[in-house]
């Protein structure tokens, strides 16, 4: 896990001092070592967290044998040893044991085609001194972030692991993107390719970019496909077990100790049981038992598999105090409540290890969400011609809302119209109502997924939903918080479910082996029983529950949030009387509006960090100080 940043210059000036300032903004990503390369055309900066080849030979920037290519690389390549053997046979000479050098030689040998051979997580750049061309690439799932902008005042092209690294550049225009706010209120994360910083974009996962100094082109190199040919449960179990055991073997390769995050759910429990680490890490909440504290379950499993468990309970005060720091590290507003406990979980783990394995991706690959299940009633109703169901839905939408009218309304909508992923916080009409006119849009949330759905137009509904989540919810929300919260503490987080070979198995499963009338992740749960007690394998998904609903009914936190919802910042974007009404109704128990309130609160905290106040990060403290 490292941090990269670069400038494709337009002013013909060697920006050595500037690239150092930009690197310092992402010091947390790689505090062990740093390096840079600058000339009149290109400036490359690198911050290293040492995992593979702890010697100085693995430092970057890294140069090819004949000095033509210069590379900075963030991530891990788990099949680098077999790739290295192939490259040695082709005559390449290596100077280190680092996986990153394999990528550089692989690019020298295969060009962009090397991307299809890599098994890992990555975001990297390679500068071609001869052609004076820049190559950027991001891993298939979007585990590692990569941002870029070409809309600078001096014409420079900037790229990096985090947007904050652009801030020191004098040509960077720090401008709020008006179009990003309304979709965020619904999705709870930055849902567009363009970020909350106007003119700053995410390089899409599974894509690469080539920039020649004048123009750039972005090309896809990976796209998942669903064969759904495996219909036998026993065959599926065998394939899953083989793929996961192989993935864990590759993901635990490290020259430093590897631990594991562990909750009470199946995903992290399966990973932990296969890994059998020395240490596991769990987080919970003070004063809450049961659904808000899974540390007991994690401790029980750790005892069963005889590993050392470390746990921590955080308070409401801890939770709210950390929000500005978390939003600083996220770069963009991010309202997934689980990012906060994940921040503290990463802090805990870093006290003991440098690398952890986690269970992200299992739900999206193996069908872990309830909405993937098609109920028997839905299957029967879908036999009615769609034109008739659509007419019934129109009538139902005008009737009082209840379980029956909601069912009839949903039955008259295509999945492309009604499913945008897991979050779906604000209903579009509520988002428009609460926003000031300048920030309203006519575009529907579903419009942001239309190109994605077009690629699987012939698939069944459950596959369409998984495909949409794989391309939007997973990289936009789940993996963003996983990377940023672990990186904030100089911790590398690895996700063995998000492996090409595991994906190959998952995409071969028939829908009935993923989410069905019996359970979600049906085949995965059965496979996990080989190493997990049945009660763990069968445990229902609860996510990372946070008692925010209760906290907002406590006077102390009601007052804290109300100050933010009525602030000058809030008045710029929102009708604050509507916000306060949501807060009051929730506080008085007249409704459950905690998700609406939290999503707005997080945005306001983020905006104050990046646009409202001058911010610096104290090296001796993980919390923000306002200068």
pTM above 0.75, yes or no: yes
Is 2 considered catalytic here?
yes
Residues 386-393: contacts with CB under 8 Å, at least 24 apart: 386/412, 386/414
Mean pLDDT of the chain: 91
Per-domain residue ranges of the chain: 3-220, 233-367+469-537, 548-611
Beta carbons of 614 and 569 less than 8 angstroms apart: no
Give the mean pLDDT of 501-506: 97
Spatial distance between the Cα atoms of 618 and 626, rounded to a whole number of angstroms: 10
CA pair distance 415, 406, nearest whole angstrom: 14
Which CATH number among 3.10.620.30, 3.10.180.10, 3.40.50.620, 3.90.1150.10 corresponds to the domain 233-367+469-537?
3.40.50.620
The answer to whether residue 106 scores a pLDDT higher than 60 is yes
> Do the annotations mark residue 283 as ligand-binding?
yes
Percent of the chain past pLDDT 70, that is, above it, reads 95
Share of the chain above pLDDT 90, in %: 75
Sheet holding 492-494, edge to edge: 308-314, 279-285, 258-261, 355-357, 492-494
pLDDT tens for residues 311-360? 999 999 999 999 999 999 999 999 999 999 999 999 999 999 999 999 99
Give the end-to-end CA distance of the chain in Å, rounded to a whole number: 30
pLDDT at position 396 = 87
Asked if 562 and 583 touch (Cβ cutoff 8 Å), the reply is yes
52 annotated binding-site participant? no
Placement of tokens 């290519």 in the chain: 69
Q: Given 2, 49, 146, 448, which residue is catalytic?
A: 2
CA angle 431, 437, 442 (to 5 degrees): 60
Do residues 604 and 570 touch, judged by C-beta distance below 8 A? Answer: yes
Residue 73: the pLDDT is: 95
Judge whether 99 is annotated as a binding position: yes
Handedness of CA 226, 231, 232, 233 (dihedral sign): positive
3 state DSSP class of 370: helix
pLDDT reported for residue 299: 87
Q: In the predicted model, is pLDDT for residue 130 greater than 50?
A: yes
CATH code linked to domain 3-220: 3.60.20.10
Return the structure tokens found at 216: 């750039």
Burial of 364 (0-12, 13-18, 19+ CB in 10 A): buried
pLDDT digits (tens, 9 = 90+) for 232-263: 999 999 999 999 999 999 999 888 899 999 98
Q: Do domains 3-220 and 233-367+469-537 have the same CATH topology?
A: no
Q: Cα separation of 136 and 123, whole Å?
A: 7
Q: Please check if 359 is assigned to a binding site.
A: yes
Residues in the chain, total: 627
Tens of pLDDT along 418-439?
Answer: 999 877 899 999 999 999 999 9
Predicted pLDDT at 56: 58
Gap between the Cα atoms of 33 and 623, Å rounded? 23
Q: What is the pLDDT of residue 288?
A: 78
């Amino acid at each position: 896990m490292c941090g990269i940043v670069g400038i494709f210059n337009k002013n013909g000036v060697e920006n050595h001092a500037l690239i150092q300032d930009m690197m310092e903004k992402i010091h947390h990503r790689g505090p062990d070592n740093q390096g840079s390369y600058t000339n009149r055309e290109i400036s490359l900066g690198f911050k290293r967290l040492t995992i593979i080849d702890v010697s100085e030979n693995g430092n970057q920037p890294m140069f090819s044998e004949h000095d033509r290519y210069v590379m900075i690389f963030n991530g891990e390549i788990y099949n680098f040893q077999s790739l290295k053997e192939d490259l040695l046979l082709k005559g390449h000479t290596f100077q280190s044991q680092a996986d990153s050098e394999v990528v550089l030689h692989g690019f020298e040998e295969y060009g962009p085609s090397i991307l299809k051979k890599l098994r890992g997580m990555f975001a990297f750049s390679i500068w071609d001194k001869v052609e004076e061309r820049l190559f950027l690439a991001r891993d298939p799932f979007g585990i590692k972030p990569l941002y870029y902008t070409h809309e600078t005042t001096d014409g420079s092209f900037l790229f990096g692991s985090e947007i904050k690294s652009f801030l020191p550049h004098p040509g960077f225009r720090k401008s709020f993107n008006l179009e990003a706010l309304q979709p965020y209120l619904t999705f709870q994360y930055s849902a567009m390719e363009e970020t909350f910083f106007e003119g700053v974009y995410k390089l899409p996962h599974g894509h690469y970019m080539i920039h020649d100094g004048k123009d750039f082109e972005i090309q896809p190199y990976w796209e998942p496909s669903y064969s759904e040919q495996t219909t036998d449960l026993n065959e599926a179990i065998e394939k899953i077990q083989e793929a996961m055991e192989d993935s864990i073997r590759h993901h635990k390769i490290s020259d430093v100790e590897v631990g594991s995050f562990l909750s009470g759910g199946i995903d992290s429990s399966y990973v932990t049981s296969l890994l059998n680490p020395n240490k596991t890490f769990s987080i919970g909440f003070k004063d809450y038992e049961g659904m808000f504290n899974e540390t007991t379950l994690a401790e029980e499993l750790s005892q069963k598999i005889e590993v050392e468990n470390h746990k921590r309970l955080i308070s409401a005060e801890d939770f709210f105090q950390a929000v500005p720091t978390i939003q600083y590290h996220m770069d963009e507003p991010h309202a997934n409540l689980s990012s906060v406990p994940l921040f503290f979980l990463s802090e805990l783990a870093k006290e003991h290890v440098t690398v952890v394995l986690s269970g992200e991706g299992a739900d999206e690959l193996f069908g872990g969400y309830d909405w993937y299940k098609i109920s028997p009633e839905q299957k029967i109703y879908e036999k009615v011609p769609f034109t008739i169901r659509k007419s019934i839905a129109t009538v139902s939408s005008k009737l009082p809302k209840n379980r029956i009218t909601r069912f009839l309304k949903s039955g008259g909508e295509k999945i492309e119209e009604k499913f945008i992923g897991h979050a779906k916080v604000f209903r579009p009409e509520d988002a428009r109502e609460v926003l000031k006119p300048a920030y309203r849009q006519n575009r529907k949330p579903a419009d942001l997924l239309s190109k994605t759905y077009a690629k699987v137009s012939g698939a069944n509904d459950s596959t369409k939903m998984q495909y949409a989540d794989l391309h939007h919810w997973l990289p936009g929300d789940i993996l963003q918080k996983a990377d940023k919260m672990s990186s904030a503490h100089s911790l590398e987080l690895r996700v063995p479910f998000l492996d090409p070979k595991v994906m190959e198995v998952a995409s071969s499963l028939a829908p009935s082996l993923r989410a069905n009338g019996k359970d979600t992740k049906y085949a995965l749960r059965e496979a996990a029983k080989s190493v997990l007690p049945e009660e763990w394998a069968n445990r229902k998904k609860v996510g990372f529950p946070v008692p925010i609903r209760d906290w907002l009914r406590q006077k102390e936190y009601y007052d804290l949030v109300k100050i933010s919802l009525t602030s000058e910042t809030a008045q710029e974007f929102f009708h604050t009387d509507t916000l306060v009404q949501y807060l009051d109704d929730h506080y008085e128990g007249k409704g459950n509006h905690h998700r609406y309130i939290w999503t707005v609160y997080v945005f306001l905290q983020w905006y104050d960090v990046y646009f409202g106040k001058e911010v610096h990060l104290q090296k001796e403290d993980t919390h923000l100080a306002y200068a």
